[in-house]
Amino acid sequence: MLFNSYGFLFLFLPLALAGYGICKWLGRKLWGEADKGRLGILFLLGASFVFYGWNRPAYLPILVCSMAVNYGLSWQMERTPHKKPMLAAGVLFNVGALACFKYLGTGDFVPLGVSFFTFTQIAFLMEYYRGSLKGVRALPYGLYVSFFPKIMQGPIALPEEMLPQFEDAPQKADWERIFRCLYLFLMGLFKKVLIADTLGKGVDFGYANLAALNAGDGLIVMLSYTLQLYFDFSGYCDMAMGIAGLFGFDLPLNFDSPYKASNMMEFWKRWHITLTRFFTKYLYIPLGGNRKGKARTYLNCLIIFLVSGIWHGAGLQFVVWGMMHGILFVATRAWKDFRREKGKEKDRENKIAHGICVLFTFLYVNGAWIFFRAPSVGEGLELFRRIFSGGFGKINWELAGCYNLDEFWYVIKVLGLDRLPCAHYILMFLFLALLLLAVFFGQNAVNIAKKAKPGVLNILIMTILLVWSVLSFSGVSSFLYVNF
Protein backbone atom coordinates (compact mmCIF):
# COMPACT_ATOMS: atom_id res chain seq x y z
CA MET A 1 0.00 0.00 0.00
CA LEU A 2 1.31 3.43 -0.94
CA PHE A 3 0.73 6.68 0.92
CA ASN A 4 -0.19 8.26 -2.42
CA SER A 5 -3.23 6.06 -3.06
CA TYR A 6 -6.98 6.38 -2.57
CA GLY A 7 -7.07 3.26 -0.41
CA PHE A 8 -4.52 4.62 2.05
CA LEU A 9 -5.75 8.18 2.21
CA PHE A 10 -9.49 7.54 2.40
CA LEU A 11 -9.69 4.09 3.99
CA PHE A 12 -6.63 2.82 5.80
CA LEU A 13 -5.39 6.03 7.45
CA PRO A 14 -8.79 7.22 8.79
CA LEU A 15 -9.57 3.74 10.11
CA ALA A 16 -6.12 3.42 11.69
CA LEU A 17 -6.45 6.80 13.43
CA ALA A 18 -9.98 6.05 14.62
CA GLY A 19 -9.09 2.53 15.78
CA TYR A 20 -5.99 3.75 17.62
CA GLY A 21 -7.99 6.45 19.39
CA ILE A 22 -10.71 4.02 20.40
CA CYS A 23 -8.20 1.47 21.69
CA LYS A 24 -6.39 4.10 23.78
CA TRP A 25 -9.72 5.20 25.25
CA LEU A 26 -10.77 1.62 25.90
CA GLY A 27 -7.42 0.80 27.51
CA ARG A 28 -7.77 3.71 29.92
CA LYS A 29 -11.31 2.63 30.80
CA LEU A 30 -10.30 -0.96 31.47
CA TRP A 31 -6.89 -0.53 33.14
CA GLY A 32 -6.51 3.17 33.85
CA GLU A 33 -3.07 4.70 33.70
CA ALA A 34 -1.52 1.23 34.04
CA ASP A 35 -2.45 0.60 30.40
CA LYS A 36 0.12 3.18 29.18
CA GLY A 37 -1.41 3.02 25.72
CA ARG A 38 -0.60 -0.67 25.29
CA LEU A 39 -3.94 -1.57 23.77
CA GLY A 40 -3.40 1.21 21.24
CA ILE A 41 0.10 -0.09 20.50
CA LEU A 42 -1.31 -3.57 19.94
CA PHE A 43 -3.82 -2.12 17.49
CA LEU A 44 -1.05 -0.22 15.65
CA LEU A 45 1.01 -3.40 15.40
CA GLY A 46 -1.92 -5.19 13.77
CA ALA A 47 -2.57 -2.21 11.49
CA SER A 48 1.11 -2.19 10.46
CA PHE A 49 0.92 -5.84 9.52
CA VAL A 50 -2.19 -5.16 7.43
CA PHE A 51 -0.43 -2.23 5.73
CA TYR A 52 2.66 -4.28 4.98
CA GLY A 53 0.85 -7.29 3.60
CA TRP A 54 -1.89 -5.36 1.78
CA ASN A 55 -0.71 -5.79 -1.82
CA ARG A 56 1.34 -8.95 -1.40
CA PRO A 57 0.46 -11.00 1.70
CA ALA A 58 3.35 -13.40 1.04
CA TYR A 59 5.76 -10.70 2.25
CA LEU A 60 4.23 -10.65 5.73
CA PRO A 61 5.53 -14.06 6.92
CA ILE A 62 9.06 -12.96 5.95
CA LEU A 63 8.76 -9.88 8.14
CA VAL A 64 7.25 -11.81 11.07
CA CYS A 65 9.90 -14.53 10.83
CA SER A 66 12.67 -11.94 10.80
CA MET A 67 11.18 -10.22 13.83
CA ALA A 68 10.80 -13.50 15.72
CA VAL A 69 14.42 -14.57 15.11
CA ASN A 70 15.86 -11.21 16.11
CA TYR A 71 13.71 -10.88 19.21
CA GLY A 72 14.63 -14.41 20.20
CA LEU A 73 18.33 -13.57 19.85
CA SER A 74 17.90 -10.46 22.00
CA TRP A 75 16.06 -12.53 24.62
CA GLN A 76 18.92 -15.03 24.65
CA MET A 77 21.51 -12.24 24.74
CA GLU A 78 19.95 -10.89 27.92
CA ARG A 79 20.28 -14.27 29.61
CA THR A 80 23.84 -15.18 28.77
CA PRO A 81 27.20 -13.54 29.49
CA HIS A 82 28.40 -14.70 26.05
CA LYS A 83 26.69 -12.09 23.91
CA LYS A 84 29.14 -11.96 21.03
CA PRO A 85 28.07 -15.30 19.43
CA MET A 86 24.44 -14.15 19.60
CA LEU A 87 25.32 -10.84 17.96
CA ALA A 88 27.37 -12.57 15.26
CA ALA A 89 24.51 -14.97 14.56
CA GLY A 90 22.05 -12.09 14.35
CA VAL A 91 24.16 -10.00 11.99
CA LEU A 92 24.86 -13.05 9.83
CA PHE A 93 21.16 -13.91 9.71
CA ASN A 94 20.08 -10.38 8.81
CA VAL A 95 22.78 -9.68 6.25
CA GLY A 96 22.37 -13.16 4.79
CA ALA A 97 18.62 -12.72 4.38
CA LEU A 98 19.13 -9.29 2.83
CA ALA A 99 21.70 -10.65 0.38
CA CYS A 100 19.48 -13.60 -0.47
CA PHE A 101 16.47 -11.48 -1.32
CA LYS A 102 18.24 -8.56 -2.99
CA TYR A 103 21.22 -10.10 -4.77
CA LEU A 104 20.99 -13.88 -5.18
CA GLY A 105 18.34 -14.25 -7.83
CA THR A 106 15.04 -14.42 -5.97
CA GLY A 107 13.38 -12.77 -8.97
CA ASP A 108 10.62 -10.32 -8.17
CA PHE A 109 10.12 -11.73 -4.68
CA VAL A 110 11.93 -9.00 -2.76
CA PRO A 111 9.98 -8.08 0.39
CA LEU A 112 9.14 -4.40 0.55
CA GLY A 113 11.42 -2.43 2.83
CA VAL A 114 13.68 -5.43 3.47
CA SER A 115 16.76 -3.20 3.67
CA PHE A 116 15.12 -0.84 6.14
CA PHE A 117 13.66 -3.39 8.54
CA THR A 118 16.93 -5.37 8.36
CA PHE A 119 18.98 -2.34 9.40
CA THR A 120 16.44 -1.55 12.11
CA GLN A 121 16.93 -5.00 13.62
CA ILE A 122 20.72 -4.91 13.35
CA ALA A 123 20.61 -1.65 15.32
CA PHE A 124 18.37 -3.35 17.90
CA LEU A 125 20.79 -6.26 18.36
CA MET A 126 23.82 -3.96 18.51
CA GLU A 127 22.27 -1.95 21.32
CA TYR A 128 21.39 -5.14 23.20
CA TYR A 129 24.99 -6.29 22.82
CA ARG A 130 26.28 -2.97 24.14
CA GLY A 131 23.95 -3.18 27.12
CA SER A 132 22.00 0.00 26.38
CA LEU A 133 18.79 -2.05 25.97
CA LYS A 134 17.34 -4.48 28.50
CA GLY A 135 13.98 -6.07 29.08
CA VAL A 136 12.34 -4.80 25.90
CA ARG A 137 8.86 -6.27 25.64
CA ALA A 138 7.69 -7.97 22.47
CA LEU A 139 4.91 -5.47 21.76
CA PRO A 140 7.03 -2.27 21.60
CA TYR A 141 9.74 -4.19 19.75
CA GLY A 142 7.28 -5.44 17.16
CA LEU A 143 5.98 -1.95 16.49
CA TYR A 144 9.51 -0.52 16.43
CA VAL A 145 10.33 -2.80 13.50
CA SER A 146 7.02 -2.76 11.64
CA PHE A 147 5.57 0.73 12.33
CA PHE A 148 3.86 1.37 9.00
CA PRO A 149 4.90 5.00 8.36
CA LYS A 150 8.59 4.02 8.24
CA ILE A 151 8.82 0.35 7.32
CA MET A 152 9.14 0.66 3.56
CA GLN A 153 11.62 3.54 3.17
CA GLY A 154 12.65 4.63 6.61
CA PRO A 155 13.85 6.80 8.16
CA ILE A 156 16.08 4.29 9.94
CA ALA A 157 15.09 5.08 13.52
CA LEU A 158 17.32 3.90 16.35
CA PRO A 159 15.90 1.84 19.25
CA GLU A 160 16.50 4.60 21.78
CA GLU A 161 14.42 6.98 19.66
CA MET A 162 11.32 4.83 19.23
CA LEU A 163 11.09 2.23 22.00
CA PRO A 164 10.55 4.76 24.84
CA GLN A 165 7.71 6.29 22.81
CA PHE A 166 6.05 2.90 22.33
CA GLU A 167 6.61 1.87 25.94
CA ASP A 168 4.63 4.86 27.18
CA ALA A 169 2.39 6.00 24.33
CA PRO A 170 0.93 9.53 24.52
CA GLN A 171 -2.57 9.64 26.01
CA LYS A 172 -3.88 13.05 24.97
CA ALA A 173 -4.21 14.56 21.52
CA ASP A 174 -2.36 17.82 20.83
CA TRP A 175 -4.55 19.49 18.23
CA GLU A 176 -2.00 22.08 17.13
CA ARG A 177 0.57 19.31 16.69
CA ILE A 178 -1.95 17.32 14.65
CA PHE A 179 -2.49 20.36 12.42
CA ARG A 180 1.25 20.73 11.81
CA CYS A 181 1.68 17.02 11.10
CA LEU A 182 -1.19 17.05 8.62
CA TYR A 183 0.37 20.10 6.95
CA LEU A 184 3.71 18.24 6.67
CA PHE A 185 2.00 15.14 5.28
CA LEU A 186 0.24 17.16 2.57
CA MET A 187 3.46 18.95 1.58
CA GLY A 188 5.15 15.56 1.24
CA LEU A 189 2.24 14.24 -0.79
CA PHE A 190 2.46 17.24 -3.13
CA LYS A 191 6.23 16.81 -3.50
CA LYS A 192 5.76 13.21 -4.57
CA VAL A 193 2.63 13.38 -6.72
CA LEU A 194 3.01 16.71 -8.52
CA ILE A 195 6.76 17.32 -8.52
CA ALA A 196 8.65 14.03 -8.39
CA ASP A 197 6.33 12.14 -10.73
CA THR A 198 6.32 14.98 -13.27
CA LEU A 199 10.12 14.98 -13.26
CA GLY A 200 10.06 11.19 -13.52
CA LYS A 201 8.29 11.34 -16.89
CA GLY A 202 11.17 13.32 -18.35
CA VAL A 203 13.77 11.05 -16.73
CA ASP A 204 12.11 7.88 -18.02
CA PHE A 205 11.87 9.32 -21.53
CA GLY A 206 15.52 10.34 -21.47
CA TYR A 207 16.89 6.98 -20.35
CA ALA A 208 14.66 5.17 -22.84
CA ASN A 209 15.99 7.32 -25.72
CA LEU A 210 19.64 7.96 -24.88
CA ALA A 211 20.82 7.75 -28.48
CA ALA A 212 18.42 10.53 -29.51
CA LEU A 213 19.52 13.06 -26.87
CA ASN A 214 21.69 16.07 -27.53
CA ALA A 215 23.76 17.81 -24.86
CA GLY A 216 20.90 20.04 -23.72
CA ASP A 217 18.53 17.07 -23.48
CA GLY A 218 21.11 15.16 -21.46
CA LEU A 219 21.58 18.01 -18.99
CA ILE A 220 17.82 18.28 -18.51
CA VAL A 221 17.52 14.52 -17.90
CA MET A 222 20.43 14.57 -15.45
CA LEU A 223 19.04 17.55 -13.55
CA SER A 224 15.52 16.12 -13.56
CA TYR A 225 16.64 12.90 -11.89
CA THR A 226 18.63 14.82 -9.26
CA LEU A 227 15.48 16.75 -8.39
CA GLN A 228 13.14 13.76 -8.78
CA LEU A 229 15.07 11.61 -6.32
CA TYR A 230 15.17 14.38 -3.74
CA PHE A 231 11.49 15.33 -3.97
CA ASP A 232 10.43 11.67 -4.12
CA PHE A 233 12.44 10.44 -1.13
CA SER A 234 12.15 13.56 1.01
CA GLY A 235 8.43 13.68 0.14
CA TYR A 236 8.05 10.14 1.49
CA CYS A 237 9.93 11.06 4.67
CA ASP A 238 7.78 14.17 5.14
CA MET A 239 4.68 12.00 4.83
CA ALA A 240 6.12 9.40 7.20
CA MET A 241 6.93 12.04 9.84
CA GLY A 242 3.51 13.61 9.39
CA ILE A 243 1.65 10.30 9.72
CA ALA A 244 3.66 9.23 12.76
CA GLY A 245 2.96 12.64 14.31
CA LEU A 246 -0.79 12.16 13.84
CA PHE A 247 -0.50 9.16 16.18
CA GLY A 248 1.65 11.15 18.62
CA PHE A 249 5.08 9.73 17.71
CA ASP A 250 8.25 11.41 16.44
CA LEU A 251 10.41 10.05 13.62
CA PRO A 252 13.94 11.40 13.09
CA LEU A 253 14.69 13.95 10.39
CA ASN A 254 16.13 12.36 7.24
CA PHE A 255 16.68 15.35 4.91
CA ASP A 256 17.92 18.85 5.70
CA SER A 257 18.10 20.76 2.38
CA PRO A 258 21.00 18.60 1.08
CA TYR A 259 21.57 20.49 -2.16
CA LYS A 260 22.59 23.55 -0.15
CA ALA A 261 25.71 21.63 0.96
CA SER A 262 29.04 23.27 0.10
CA ASN A 263 31.05 20.03 0.18
CA MET A 264 30.55 16.28 0.18
CA MET A 265 30.96 15.89 3.94
CA GLU A 266 28.20 18.42 4.52
CA PHE A 267 26.05 16.74 1.87
CA TRP A 268 26.04 13.48 3.83
CA LYS A 269 25.10 15.34 6.98
CA ARG A 270 22.00 16.53 5.14
CA TRP A 271 21.08 13.65 2.78
CA HIS A 272 19.58 10.40 4.12
CA ILE A 273 20.78 11.44 7.55
CA THR A 274 19.65 8.26 9.31
CA LEU A 275 21.57 6.01 6.88
CA THR A 276 24.74 8.05 7.44
CA ARG A 277 24.18 7.80 11.17
CA PHE A 278 23.62 4.03 10.98
CA PHE A 279 26.82 3.39 9.02
CA THR A 280 28.80 5.71 11.27
CA LYS A 281 27.61 4.10 14.49
CA TYR A 282 27.59 0.44 13.48
CA LEU A 283 30.33 0.18 10.84
CA TYR A 284 32.68 3.17 10.72
CA ILE A 285 33.31 3.32 14.48
CA PRO A 286 33.73 -0.49 14.89
CA LEU A 287 36.23 -0.38 11.98
CA GLY A 288 38.30 2.04 14.03
CA GLY A 289 36.78 5.34 12.99
CA ASN A 290 39.42 8.06 13.15
CA ARG A 291 41.32 6.48 16.04
CA LYS A 292 44.02 4.68 14.01
CA GLY A 293 45.61 7.39 11.94
CA LYS A 294 44.71 9.29 8.80
CA ALA A 295 45.29 6.52 6.29
CA ARG A 296 43.03 4.14 8.21
CA THR A 297 40.43 6.87 8.65
CA TYR A 298 40.30 7.54 4.90
CA LEU A 299 40.16 3.81 4.15
CA ASN A 300 37.28 3.39 6.61
CA CYS A 301 35.40 6.19 4.84
CA LEU A 302 35.88 4.50 1.48
CA ILE A 303 34.64 1.20 2.93
CA ILE A 304 31.48 2.94 4.15
CA PHE A 305 30.73 4.30 0.69
CA LEU A 306 31.51 0.96 -0.94
CA VAL A 307 29.07 -0.76 1.42
CA SER A 308 26.51 1.99 0.80
CA GLY A 309 26.78 1.44 -2.94
CA ILE A 310 26.38 -2.32 -2.60
CA TRP A 311 23.44 -1.84 -0.23
CA HIS A 312 21.61 0.23 -2.81
CA GLY A 313 21.87 -2.38 -5.55
CA ALA A 314 23.71 -5.34 -7.01
CA GLY A 315 24.86 -3.64 -10.21
CA LEU A 316 28.36 -2.26 -10.75
CA GLN A 317 26.80 1.16 -11.37
CA PHE A 318 25.97 1.44 -7.67
CA VAL A 319 29.60 0.73 -6.75
CA VAL A 320 30.68 3.48 -9.16
CA TRP A 321 28.16 5.84 -7.54
CA GLY A 322 29.39 4.97 -4.04
CA MET A 323 33.05 5.38 -4.98
CA MET A 324 32.41 8.74 -6.66
CA HIS A 325 30.97 9.98 -3.38
CA GLY A 326 33.64 8.24 -1.32
CA ILE A 327 36.57 9.69 -3.27
CA LEU A 328 35.34 13.27 -3.03
CA PHE A 329 34.37 12.74 0.63
CA VAL A 330 37.92 11.56 1.47
CA ALA A 331 39.49 14.37 -0.58
CA THR A 332 37.34 16.90 1.28
CA ARG A 333 38.26 15.40 4.63
CA ALA A 334 41.97 15.39 3.76
CA TRP A 335 41.76 19.04 2.74
CA LYS A 336 40.02 19.94 6.00
CA ASP A 337 42.67 18.00 7.95
CA PHE A 338 45.40 19.90 6.10
CA ARG A 339 43.79 23.27 6.83
CA ARG A 340 43.34 22.37 10.49
CA GLU A 341 47.04 21.48 10.76
CA LYS A 342 47.91 24.84 9.19
CA GLY A 343 45.62 26.63 11.63
CA LYS A 344 43.24 27.77 8.91
CA GLU A 345 40.20 25.70 9.79
CA LYS A 346 38.37 28.68 11.26
CA ASP A 347 38.88 30.90 8.20
CA ARG A 348 35.47 31.88 6.89
CA GLU A 349 34.55 31.51 3.23
CA ASN A 350 33.24 34.61 1.52
CA LYS A 351 29.82 34.38 -0.11
CA ILE A 352 31.19 34.01 -3.63
CA ALA A 353 33.52 31.15 -2.65
CA HIS A 354 30.70 29.48 -0.73
CA GLY A 355 28.38 29.77 -3.73
CA ILE A 356 31.01 28.25 -6.02
CA CYS A 357 31.49 25.34 -3.60
CA VAL A 358 27.72 24.74 -3.43
CA LEU A 359 27.49 24.78 -7.22
CA PHE A 360 30.44 22.41 -7.65
CA THR A 361 29.05 19.97 -5.06
CA PHE A 362 25.63 20.09 -6.70
CA LEU A 363 27.05 19.41 -10.18
CA TYR A 364 29.23 16.59 -8.87
CA VAL A 365 26.26 14.98 -7.12
CA ASN A 366 24.29 15.33 -10.37
CA GLY A 367 26.97 13.41 -12.22
CA ALA A 368 27.07 10.67 -9.59
CA TRP A 369 23.28 10.28 -9.68
CA ILE A 370 23.58 9.32 -13.36
CA PHE A 371 25.05 5.97 -12.33
CA PHE A 372 22.52 5.62 -9.52
CA ARG A 373 19.69 5.82 -12.07
CA ALA A 374 21.26 4.15 -15.11
CA PRO A 375 20.46 0.45 -15.63
CA SER A 376 24.18 -0.18 -16.21
CA VAL A 377 27.56 1.56 -16.17
CA GLY A 378 27.53 1.57 -19.98
CA GLU A 379 24.24 3.47 -20.14
CA GLY A 380 25.47 5.91 -17.53
CA LEU A 381 28.58 6.57 -19.60
CA GLU A 382 26.37 6.97 -22.69
CA LEU A 383 24.45 9.78 -20.99
CA PHE A 384 27.76 11.45 -20.13
CA ARG A 385 28.78 11.14 -23.79
CA ARG A 386 25.50 12.74 -24.83
CA ILE A 387 26.09 15.65 -22.44
CA PHE A 388 29.70 16.32 -23.43
CA SER A 389 29.68 15.45 -27.13
CA GLY A 390 26.04 15.37 -28.22
CA GLY A 391 26.03 18.96 -29.50
CA PHE A 392 23.61 21.67 -28.46
CA GLY A 393 20.41 22.03 -30.43
CA LYS A 394 16.71 22.35 -29.95
CA ILE A 395 15.41 20.49 -26.90
CA ASN A 396 13.61 17.28 -27.79
CA TRP A 397 9.89 18.03 -28.32
CA GLU A 398 8.68 14.91 -26.50
CA LEU A 399 11.05 15.50 -23.58
CA ALA A 400 9.75 19.04 -23.12
CA GLY A 401 6.17 17.77 -23.28
CA CYS A 402 6.74 15.61 -20.20
CA TYR A 403 6.72 18.77 -18.05
CA ASN A 404 3.63 20.39 -19.56
CA LEU A 405 1.09 19.82 -16.81
CA ASP A 406 -2.45 20.35 -18.05
CA GLU A 407 -3.25 22.65 -15.13
CA PHE A 408 -0.57 25.13 -16.21
CA TRP A 409 -0.95 24.65 -19.96
CA TYR A 410 -4.45 26.08 -19.67
CA VAL A 411 -2.92 29.21 -18.10
CA ILE A 412 -0.48 29.45 -21.03
CA LYS A 413 -3.40 29.30 -23.45
CA VAL A 414 -5.50 31.85 -21.55
CA LEU A 415 -2.58 34.28 -21.56
CA GLY A 416 -2.12 33.75 -25.28
CA LEU A 417 1.44 32.50 -24.81
CA ASP A 418 0.70 29.31 -26.75
CA ARG A 419 1.19 31.29 -29.98
CA LEU A 420 4.86 31.93 -29.21
CA PRO A 421 7.44 29.76 -31.04
CA CYS A 422 8.87 28.63 -27.69
CA ALA A 423 5.48 27.97 -26.05
CA HIS A 424 6.03 24.21 -25.78
CA TYR A 425 9.19 24.80 -23.73
CA ILE A 426 8.01 27.53 -21.36
CA LEU A 427 6.63 25.22 -18.69
CA MET A 428 9.67 22.94 -18.71
CA PHE A 429 12.12 25.78 -18.08
CA LEU A 430 9.80 27.49 -15.59
CA PHE A 431 9.19 24.21 -13.71
CA LEU A 432 12.90 23.39 -13.41
CA ALA A 433 13.85 26.96 -12.53
CA LEU A 434 11.31 27.16 -9.71
CA LEU A 435 12.48 23.83 -8.29
CA LEU A 436 16.11 24.97 -8.35
CA LEU A 437 15.14 28.13 -6.49
CA ALA A 438 13.27 26.00 -3.95
CA VAL A 439 16.16 23.59 -3.25
CA PHE A 440 18.80 26.35 -3.05
CA PHE A 441 16.88 29.09 -1.28
CA GLY A 442 13.65 27.61 0.09
CA GLN A 443 13.00 26.33 3.59
CA ASN A 444 12.84 22.66 4.45
CA ALA A 445 9.25 21.34 4.52
CA VAL A 446 9.76 20.17 8.12
CA ASN A 447 10.73 23.68 9.21
CA ILE A 448 7.76 25.17 7.37
CA ALA A 449 5.39 22.74 9.09
CA LYS A 450 6.87 23.46 12.52
CA LYS A 451 5.96 27.12 12.14
CA ALA A 452 2.50 26.51 10.67
CA LYS A 453 -0.43 27.80 12.72
CA PRO A 454 -4.12 27.01 12.24
CA GLY A 455 -5.56 29.82 10.15
CA VAL A 456 -7.53 30.61 7.02
CA LEU A 457 -4.47 30.91 4.74
CA ASN A 458 -2.84 27.66 5.88
CA ILE A 459 -6.13 25.77 5.69
CA LEU A 460 -6.58 27.08 2.14
CA ILE A 461 -3.06 25.96 1.23
CA MET A 462 -3.67 22.52 2.73
CA THR A 463 -6.94 22.19 0.81
CA ILE A 464 -5.24 23.07 -2.47
CA LEU A 465 -2.40 20.60 -1.81
CA LEU A 466 -4.86 17.82 -0.96
CA VAL A 467 -7.29 18.34 -3.83
CA TRP A 468 -4.59 18.86 -6.45
CA SER A 469 -2.67 15.78 -5.30
CA VAL A 470 -5.75 13.55 -5.11
CA LEU A 471 -6.87 14.58 -8.60
CA SER A 472 -3.44 13.48 -9.86
CA PHE A 473 -3.37 10.06 -8.15
CA SER A 474 -4.18 8.19 -11.37
CA GLY A 475 -0.81 9.12 -12.86
CA VAL A 476 1.47 8.53 -9.88
CA SER A 477 4.14 5.89 -9.51
CA SER A 478 5.68 3.94 -6.67
CA PHE A 479 8.34 5.61 -4.54
CA LEU A 480 11.87 5.29 -5.93
CA TYR A 481 13.47 4.06 -2.71
CA VAL A 482 11.05 1.13 -2.48
CA ASN A 483 13.48 -0.49 -4.91
CA PHE A 484 16.36 -0.19 -2.45
Distance of alpha carbon 338 from alpha carbon 344, whole angstroms? 9
Distance of alpha carbon 82 from alpha carbon 86, whole angstroms? 8
Which of the residues are catalytic?
312
- Computed over its alpha carbons, how large is the radius of gyration of the chain? 24
Task: Give the CA distances from residue 48 to residues 11, 22, 43, 52, 149, in Å, rounded to whole numbers and listed in that order.
Answer: 14, 17, 9, 6, 8
Closest alpha carbon to 381 in 324, 333, 428? 324
Task: Give the CA distances from residue 137 to residues 45, 147, 307, in Å, rounded to whole numbers and listed in that order.
Answer: 13, 15, 32
Task: Give the CA distances from residue 414 to residues 53, 293, 407, 411, in Å, rounded to whole numbers and listed in that order.
Answer: 47, 66, 11, 5
Q: What is the DSSP letter of 402?
A: T
Where residue 477 falls (left for φ over 0; alpha for ψ -120 to 50; beta otherwise) is beta
Helix (H), strand (E) at residue 319: helix 316-341
Q: Give Cα 43 to chain centroid, integer Å.
A: 26
**Residue 347, Cβ density class (10 Å: 0-12 exposed, 13-18 middle, ≥19 buried):** exposed
CB atoms within 10 A of CB 381: 15
Taking every pair of C-alpha atoms in the chain, what is the biggest distance, in angstroms?
79
Three-state helix/strand/coil letters over 246-314: HCCCCCCCCCCCHHHCCCHHHHHHHCCHHHHHHHHHHHHCCCCCCCCCHHHHHHHHHHHHHHHHHHHCC
DSSP assignment string, 67-87: HHHHHHHHHHHTT-S-HHHHH
Amino acid making up residue 387: I
Question: Residue 482 in contact with residue 153, Cβ under 8 Å?
Answer: yes
DSSP assignment string, 326-343: HHHHHHHHHHHHHHHHTT
Angle at alpha carbon of residue 246, lines to 254 and 180, rounded to 5°: 70
Question: Residue 247 in contact with residue 20, Cβ under 8 Å?
Answer: yes
